[in-house]
Structure 1
Amino acid sequence: MEKEEFRKRAHELVDWMADYLIQKENYPVTPQIQPRAIFDQIPDSAPEKGESFDAILEDFKEIIVPGMTHWQHPAFFGYFPANNSEPSILAEMLMSTLGAQCMSWLTSPAATELEERVCDWIRDAKGIDKTWKGCIHDTASTATLSALLAAREKATNYQINENGFQGNEKFRVYSSSHVHSSIDKALKIAGIGLNNLVRIPVDENFSMISEELEKAILEDLENGFHPLCVVSALGTTSSTAVDPIDKISQITQKYKIWHHIDAAFAGTALILPEFQELIKGHELADSYVFNPHKWMFTNFDCTIMYLKEPRYLVNTFSMTPEYLKTKLDEEVNNYRDWGIPLGRRFRALKLWFVVRSYGLQGLREKLRIHLLLAQKAKSWIKDEDKLEILAPVNFNTICFRYFSEGLSLEKENQINEAWMNQVNATGEAFFSHTKLNGKYVIRWVIGQTDVTEKHIQKAWSLLLEQLQQTLSKQ
């Protein structure tokens, strides 16, 4: 493609993008298609000769878009959001145009120094200890694995990195029974083993019981295990339950255990001063992770991990062969040494655009709107005799279900699953589910960038309408 055609096509695409953002709520939230429907529309083999951009763009519109789940739709209420915003999209375009590989200071000084400064901005806005330093990863799963590996190497004086496992380590990692699945995966990858994840019981609010944590640690010590790391949650995936960070930090300090705080979704709420009490005690922990790409209007992917002592992370991952050495290595951050991949995208740019465009005040206003909408939806659910909320609404996630006296739990679960599936099948809204104490519950997450009260009112009417249709079929 010649440069002038690129200019022309870029303008076409920006027009399409702007139209999409304006019209996104007119699309069905989820596609109404069967498996392989998209695959079967794509030729069996790649073209030998280049095709026109017109043909490619037409296929994008006619084949790809109809098969997309529209995560930016204001009626996307499932999972956790992967929000974007106009400033973030524009920054992503510039990132792609620059095409920088930001593995070290030398390969892009501005990228490295902007990353450090923006991480400091957000750290201070969230009330995190000013001595902590941050770096940007792709996802919380990667950051959590990195923290676990750093904990492993700190505990063994980096001997596993050098010599591998000797077979006598007997590590244990602790989390609540509502831990995110990325913890399980991290234990597998780190060689610690899934059976060495100790799941600590939770209380009626689904928060880890700190007394049970200490009890499990003492029992493991008596049995010759090595307590390595505790992963606490500031907002679990199922219900956004909050573990007692302060009490857990005191326990990990007492037994010299790494404490990693997983605040992947709910951590954004800490830019609101009224939520910063939740992080009390974090200064005694070791690492903390949250995702601006979930609830801070920054395109996926963008995760920030903060560390009390980054040297443990750097010592775990630093690999500097001769061809990567520079005379400035002792004076700068080379973020390739702060995580698993060597190559790094210029993710700090989109975060910088978002924070500067909204300002902290604008970000806080957005979050407070979402929190107020969640309380409004919560009140509607509470007013319905046959609906119940099964977990505290700590932020903007509501876990609710239909119930009826005389029905078995199995039957109630079947009804709730059918109800949610019928709602989703309309394409007018999208919800996801979890199970709490064996009960199938629908999760209503109100955090999409452009969601307003009209969207939740429409969703509420749809829920009630589809519930009646579901019950009529039983």
Structure 2
Amino acid sequence: MTPDEFRRYGKQVIDWIADYHESIASRPVMSRAEPGDVLAALPEHPPEKGEGFDGLLAALDRDIMPGVTHWQHPSFFGYFPSNSTGPSILGDLLSSGLGVQGMMWATSPAATELETRVADWTADLLDLPAKFRGNGAIQDSASSACLVALLSALHQAGGGAPGPDGIDRRRTLYISSQTHSSLEKAARVAGVGSANVRVVDVDPVTLAMDPAHLDALLTEDAAAGAVPAMVCATVGTTSTTAVDPVPAIGEVCRRHGVWLHVDAAYAGVAAVCPEFRWVNEGLAEYASSYSTNPHKWMLTNFDCTLLWMADRAPMLNALSILPEYLRNNATTSGDVIDYRDWQIPLGRRFRALKLWSVIRWYGAEGLREHIRTGSGLADELAALIAADPRYEVRPDHPFGLVCFRPLWDGLTTDEANAATMDALNRLNASGDLLLSHTKIGGHVLLRMAIGAPSTERRHILAAWDRIREETTA
């Protein structure tokens, strides 16, 4: 493709994306494709000769789009938002256009130093502790961030090295029933194993981790010869946005000498608003590592997770490997950051460009407005549900997620759960909004996550009308 062809077709692609976002509200939120539909529409074999781009765009509309669920739809409420915005899309395009492989400072100094700066900018925006300045890196997702944190914690606790008696001791990881599943996967990947993932009790009402039970488990495991490696506290759980008591958990971790990772994948970015800065409680005093996702609720395209370390040394000691073919004067000098040592893969995209683009375009003021809009709409929806005696809403909804259930007259709990799920499935199939569900205390609850940039009050009211129509029919 020549530069002239790229210019011509590139304008067509930009127009296509702009038209898509302009028309997205008129599309069904959830794809209506059946399994195998998209596969059947695609040729079984690749073309022998290259084809024109016009045909590609036509095939995109004809064969691909029917299988797309529209995450940027104003009535997409199924999962935490995965924001996509113009500045971020263009930043991503610039990253693709430059084609930088930013594994080391030497492979592109700008990729490294811009990432260092935007990580610090984000720490400033969220009012994070000073210890995180200069110690932030962009990961692809919170799953990777948690794995890096666990590997760092394992190294600090002794890693895979034999104990002083020459016999390797088992390492343990501590989570709650509400912790994201990526932590158990991280335990498998890191060699801790699922059997050594200890599940801490939660408060039956708030679903927050119980520090007293954590203390008991740590004491019990240490007495049995295990090496407690890491505790993961969550600020804004996936199921209900429950918030673990980080200061109390941190005090327990300090007494036992255990690494505390705080996973704030969804809710952490809310701290851009001063009224939400309570989510940072305990970080300065206790957190060894902390992560949050601009790609959820901070107007930045997937993938973009920020991970900060209070001390980068355990991570570098755990992950740094320097083969001869990567040696260079800058790395040897020790004066630069090589982000390849801050992640699992060697290669890394120039992700900082899209976050830089978002922060420069919106500024702190625009980011605050977005967070406040989503949380305000969630408050309004929760008030509407609470005012209807036919529904029950979870009272604690500090961010943009509302969990609720219909109260089905004359039905047992199991029947009510089944009826709720049936209603949920009908709502999804209808195509005019998308919800998801969770299960708490034996009850199936509907989850309505608000945070798409295009979602307005009218979309919330229309969704509430539709839900009532379906669940009270």
Please give the TM-score of this superposition, normalised by the length of structure 1: 0.96
2:291 paired residue number: 289
Q: State the number of aligned residues.
A: 465
What SS does the aligned partner of 2:230 have?
strand
Aligned residues with identical type, % of pairs: 42
2:17 paired residue number: 17
1:224 paired residue number: 225
Q: Which whole-Å deviations, capped at 9, do the CAs of 1:160-186 have from their partners, x for residues lacking one?
A: 7xx9xx873221111111111101100
Q: Does 1:373 align with 2:380?
A: no
Q: CA RMSD in A?
A: 1.4
Aligned residues of 2:169 and 2:225 also touching (Cα < 8 A): no
Amino acid at match of 1:36: G
Worse-matched range after superposition: 20-29 or 347-356: 20-29
Q: Which whole-Å deviations, capped at 9, do the CAs of 1:389-443 have from their partners, x for residues lacking one?
A: 1351021111101123542211011011011111111111101111111211110
Q: Structure 2 matches for 1:29-178, cutoff 5 A?
A: 29-132=29-132, 133-156=135-158, 159=161, 168-178=168-178
Worse-matched range after superposition: 11-20 or 399-408: 399-408
- The verdict on how the C-alpha distance between 1:441 and 1:337 changes in structure 2, with shifts beyond 3 A counting, is same
Aligned residues of 1:390 and 1:436 also touching (Cα < 8 A): no
1:434 paired residue number: 438
1:238 paired residue number: 239
Distance 1:157 1:234 in 2: 27
Aligned residues of 1:287 and 1:308 also touching (Cα < 8 A): yes
Deviation at 1:158, TM superposition (A): 6.5
Aligned residues of 1:158 and 1:316 also touching (Cα < 8 A): no
Please give the TM-score of this superposition, normalised by the length of structure 2: 0.96
Q: Does 1:390 align with 2:397?
A: no
What SS does the aligned partner of 2:184 have?
helix
What SS does the aligned partner of 1:141 have?
helix
Deviation at 1:222, TM superposition (A): 2.1
Amino acid at match of 1:422: R
Deviation at 1:24, TM superposition (A): 1.1
Aligned residues of 1:246 and 1:279 also touching (Cα < 8 A): no
Amino acid at match of 1:290: T
Amino acid at match of 2:257: K
Amino acid at match of 1:337: D
Distance 1:400 1:277 in 2: 25
- The verdict on how the C-alpha distance between 1:64 and 1:419 changes in structure 2, with shifts beyond 3 A counting, is same
Amino acid at match of 1:177: S
Aligned residues of 1:239 and 1:391 also touching (Cα < 8 A): no
Worse-matched range after superposition: 12-21 or 344-353: 12-21
Distance 1:178 1:285 in 2: 19
Deviation at 1:464, TM superposition (A): 0.9
Distance 1:124 1:54 in 2: 45
Deviation at 1:23, TM superposition (A): 1.2
2:413 paired residue number: 409
2:427 paired residue number: 423
1:195 paired residue number: 195
Amino acid at match of 1:344: R
1:250 paired residue number: 251
Q: Does 1:262 align with 2:263?
A: yes
Deviation at 1:5, TM superposition (A): 1.5
Distance 1:220 1:386 in 2: 47
2:212 paired residue number: 211
Aligned residues of 2:299 and 2:358 also touching (Cα < 8 A): yes
